[in-house]
Amino acid sequence: MFYDQSAYPLRFEWGEAGVRHLAPQCQAVVIVDVLSFSTAVDVALGRGASVLPYRWKDDSAIRFAEQHGALLASHERRFTGGYSLSQQSLSTLPTGARLVLPSPNGATLSMLAQQTGAAVFTACLRNAPAVAQYIRGRFERVLVVAAGERWSDGTLRAAREDEWGAGAVIAALNMPASPEAQAAADAYRAVQANLLASVTACASGRELVERGFEADLDWACDLNISRVVPLLSRMAYLDADSHGPSILPL
């Protein structure tokens, strides 16, 4: 198929359609949702917790968390007295906690990619080199997916911060890349020196600033600070670097 980028070991696409069409031919899939799922997972795992991705932002998330003995993060970023997709709220997450993280973007793509049998990772600007280092040499066919956002009619809106995060992973993987993947890496390199300013100025960054969450941008743009490698094992993201190869899918 002309669109599957199969001539290249390293591939790049956007959103659910990208996962559905390209992931079945790949051994590893990296989901990038910088603002905020991927960054929230990195922060939570860095605290020694595990994250159960959940698609729905409704009461079913409460039942899911209860069934699995997990804490539930609010889908509302402004949430007092608990946890949410805001990275600041996760800075006090207790070691060993299990956290259900509802997200219609990053969580949905994670669960969809897992259905293909590929090893599923999530990455952000904080841990892109660490994730790339873990993947490189273990997998020959890798798909990096930028989650993107949604227009009011439900269609995909390309989110520049996700393209840059995906490009950071692609650049660090240093594998033969499709033109699509190479373009994402080039886009990341173009803003790398002014990353925080670029993310703050793009549409998603402006939204967070206007809603009073500018501090979350600092967390998300703390480039290469983390060694966490979030790997989806059964239903939870765990740090592959600390749990070892036993959590990789067969």
pTM assigned to the model: 0.95
Q: Which domains does the chain have, with CATH numbers?
A: 10-244 (3.90.1560.10)
Q: What gap in Å lies between CA 126 and CA 221, rounded to an integer?
A: 7
The confidence score (pLDDT) of residue 81 equals 61
> What are the E-state strand segments in 17-153?
28-32, 50-54, 71-72, 98-102, 119-123, 142-146, 149-150
The answer to whether the CB of 161 falls within 8 A of the CB of 35 is yes
Per-residue pLDDT of the chain (250 residues; tens, 9 = 90+): 789 999 999 999 999 999 999 999 999 999 999 999 999 999 999 999 999 999 876 678 889 899 999 999 886 666 556 888 888 889 889 999 999 998 889 999 999 999 999 999 999 999 999 999 999 999 999 999 999 999 999 899 999 999 999 999 999 999 999 999 999 999 999 999 999 999 999 999 999 999 999 999 999 999 999 999 999 998 999 999 777 666 676 5
Q: What gap in Å lies between CA 145 and CA 18, rounded to an integer?
A: 7
